[in-house]
Structure 1
């Protein structure tokens, strides 16, 4: 089976969105401000073909180190083994489990548990022969093609793939982040924020902030606001939710979210654009913004985002004002001089695609295909295709969807949305909510199973 047609087939199967979706993509060269269904889901589209063989000419000694075992890293490690069986893959990760950010806002409403979103790397190890090393990478040698762990272990390879996710900007005054948890990385802060909402007075005020684009999504801030508003109607019936958006307007699914904010949830949500947070006072639970000062009983403060610390510490963030890493989207190789054997996938990369788990999975496949070809002495596929699918919870039982197909555009050397292959739901319903589970299960199985 030809990998190119496998990748294109996945995009076509999942496509049904006009997006800047999920916090938006970005220009490969600049950031103007300085950091889920398709109606025809097909789980089989996510299943790898077990008959995919070794790329011709790949040496049994070819080695690839993948750093980070989330949506992008786990997928690239898996598909490197599927599409280049002779490639030795070492996956380096700090934690023994991965907790999905997708669906994590449902933990806030009690509809999901963190346990239901937790995945191990066992199948990657036992089913695909991937060597998994738990440790923290502290240095990268892009010329010698090696990584150094905190315990001084040095691992050498022919290629390195980095998938460290995102890091957060510091918020002036926020000396105690647990007083205003972001819960943007599923885990302890998700539980903390859920407890804070449960303890909030019935007539209290909650605040949710939305950072400037680009930001990682899911979870999505607009959908989280809708979900919480729906929950508050039942559990905190006199409470209000202030949504402070650092952007000038809705940056995802504008029609659906504007309709939900001003119609369905109008009695709960107050939407305030151009409200970038400039300072936080955790002692008084007050935020200072460009639109004024706001005080709440619970504050879900989501800071501005940038590439993972490993990217910036190693001098690989040369795009978006140094906020994200520039890459060649034909292979996801770094555009930093001398670092072309270092590939960067997922949220840390600066591309025109959304920063989303589904896109990380798609980028991983393009990257794995390209590395397998490069190690065979070939060139990457000149016309890769990716797809971004996303559901948004509008209530606790209803969801909307959008999806976009991206294709490589040689003139701009970037991935561009294909309008004819993109779409979005008009409104929301319970069928979309049910199909969201099917989509999620298939995506996670494709990545970790």
Structure 2
């Protein structure tokens, strides 16, 4: 690589700046002054992160030449495309393959259910990536990968050759609980992919009677956005109990995850255990009925009868008015006959060590696939199995680690041997209060994964940190964090 030391230092500087840029949401932890947060209107949800607030950097002068294809225009793919151009320089050609003209953010989509946001307020385009950074947008879907020829085939009949391939396909939803994809679309929406199903679920929720029962299910981990289902339960409960005329509606949460502490069903909660336990028991006490360790869930999409076995293996039945099944997930294209599984890239294991094959195992130093014959193929975001949670902020971080590693590899160097990532998210608890969760992840050579680290870098006994309590101030800062994150990812 030309000027290798200078370019390496420059990339590290930009990586630090970029990480800091989306760390705005972490500022409550660091004690950001209240008057700074007050300058942001918590209700200004239509205000996307403006161009004036997001600096466009000059492309690095690396002297490198390569053809890189990025598949998937979500947070991971968009961020990867941007930073590959930014750090790789003008000679690194980046093509983003994405069938949709707009990306609809899953982050904040639960706020559509209580009317605090619209689906359109979550839409982002790719104009910044193409005009500011020179990314080429190819509006098509991936059909197949020829690993030997280093070429992909697309839905429009064309093909693209690559030197490096970055896959950020996101997730797809498994037929579960006796339901089909058609049921998800028109009768029992999971709404775990923001868009039409989100609007449908909001309509169903708004039409509930004053004494109706809302049933939602939570699949076994891993799934997209660990705190998301619990956040949704809170917002639905808050919406139902504050409706005009009062309400005796119930929100029954059926969680397939099992308790970690004997006798404490709330210990099954996958993130922000303390704040969600408080929210379920106190803030929304009497409305939310949380049941963990359930199994054998079956849902009749027509009658809305939900049956299951409880934690004691007793049969239970609920007559629901609205059913929201958050169903098991896998990497998009990972089903039988899917392009990802056909290419042999799904190779994960479950918590017992048994073959899972829903996700793609990667080397977290570069996010390159560890599957046989997959050299030069990198997998990011929700589709990857790497020890990190499946979340938008994390996807942004993974993309930067991957982009930095690819540029180093193109220059004949090795990836950073000790990458660091941070994770931050805010969870609305009511229409005006929110909590937050944050963690710093460091590379652990023993497990070859990124693991949570304590302040000072130790990973022994470390765990994510959650807010001391939900607050209106957190709600205000949530919007700043979201706008900053999306502005960084979508240029």
TM-score between both structures, scaled by the size of structure 1: 0.90
Tell me the equivalent position of 2:322: 298
Tell me the equivalent position of 2:221: 213
Work out whether residues 101 and 184 of structure 1, in 8 Å CA contact, stay in contact via their aligned partners in 2.
yes
Alignment of 1:18-417 (within 5 A): 37-39=26-28, 40=30, 50-51=57-58, 53-55=60-62, 57-59=63-65, 62-85=66-89, 86-175=91-180, 176-177=183-184, 178-217=186-225, 220-235=228-243, 237-248=247-258, 249-291=268-310, 292-309=316-333, 310-320=339-349, 321-417=356-452
Structure 1, 422-431 or 257-266: larger mean CA deviation: 422-431
Work out whether residues 226 and 270 of structure 2, in 8 Å CA contact, stay in contact via their aligned partners in 1.
no
Q: Secondary structure at the match of 1:338?
A: coil
Unaligned ranges ≥5, structure 2: 1-8, 37-48, 259-267, 311-315, 334-338, 350-355, 457-463
Cα offset for 1:294? Answer: 2.3
CA displacement 1:379-398 (0-9 Å, x = unmatched): 11111111110101111100
Instruction: State the alpha-carbon separation in 2 of the partners of residues 48 and 379 from structure 1.
Output: 29
Instruction: State the alpha-carbon separation in 2 of the partners of residues 335 and 171 from structure 1.
Output: 29
Structure 1, 347-356 or 290-299: larger mean CA deviation: 290-299
Alignment of 1:5-24 (within 5 A): 5-8=13-16
Work out whether residues 70 and 77 of structure 2, in 8 Å CA contact, stay in contact via their aligned partners in 1.
yes
Change (3 A) 1:286 1:312: farther
CA displacement 1:268-326 (0-9 Å, x = unmatched): 00001012353221111022222222220001111011111143343211012111001
Instruction: State the alpha-carbon separation in 2 of the partners of residues 352 and 232 from structure 1.
Output: 36
Cα offset for 1:215? Answer: 0.6
1:445 has 2:445 as partner: no
Change (3 A) 1:180 1:246: same
Change (3 A) 1:384 1:47: farther
Change (3 A) 1:38 1:209: farther
Tell me the equivalent position of 2:353: none
Instruction: State the alpha-carbon separation in 2 of the partners of residues 414 and 327 from structure 1.
Output: 9
Runs of 4+ in structure 1 displaced over 3 angstroms? 5-16, 40-44, 46-49
Instruction: State the alpha-carbon separation in 2 of the partners of residues 313 and 376 from structure 1.
Output: 31
Work out whether residues 8 and 386 of structure 1, in 8 Å CA contact, stay in contact via their aligned partners in 2.
no
Instruction: State the alpha-carbon separation in 2 of the partners of residues 436 and 428 from structure 1.
Output: 11
CA displacement 1:315-351 (0-9 Å, x = unmatched): 2110121110010001110101110211000000001
Q: Secondary structure at the match of 2:341?
A: helix
Work out whether residues 344 and 372 of structure 2, in 8 Å CA contact, stay in contact via their aligned partners in 1.
no
Change (3 A) 1:99 1:160: same
CA RMSD in angstroms, aligned pairs only: 2.1
Instruction: State the alpha-carbon separation in 2 of the partners of residues 82 and 13 from structure 1.
Output: 15
Work out whether residues 83 and 403 of structure 2, in 8 Å CA contact, stay in contact via their aligned partners in 1.
yes
Q: Secondary structure at the match of 1:257?
A: helix
Looking at both structures, which has the greater relative contact order when contacts are Cα pairs under 8 Å and sequence separation is at least 6? 1
Instruction: State the alpha-carbon separation in 1 of the partners of residues 400 and 253 from structure 2.
Output: 36
Q: Secondary structure at the match of 2:190?
A: coil
TM-score between both structures, scaled by the size of structure 2: 0.83
| CA radius of gyration, larger in | 2
Work out whether residues 101 and 218 of structure 1, in 8 Å CA contact, stay in contact via their aligned partners in 2.
no
Cα offset for 1:13? Answer: 7.6
Cα offset for 1:14? Answer: 6.6
Instruction: State the alpha-carbon separation in 2 of the partners of residues 48 and 381 from structure 1.
Output: 25
Instruction: State the alpha-carbon separation in 2 of the partners of residues 312 and 147 from structure 1.
Output: 14
CA displacement 1:362-404 (0-9 Å, x = unmatched): 0000111111111111111111111110101111100011110
Tell me the equivalent position of 2:465: 423
Cα offset for 1:151? Answer: 2.6
Q: Secondary structure at the match of 1:408?
A: strand
Instruction: State the alpha-carbon separation in 2 of the partners of residues 351 and 48 from structure 1.
Output: 31
Q: Secondary structure at the match of 1:340?
A: coil
Cα offset for 1:439? Answer: 0.3
Change (3 A) 1:69 1:14: closer
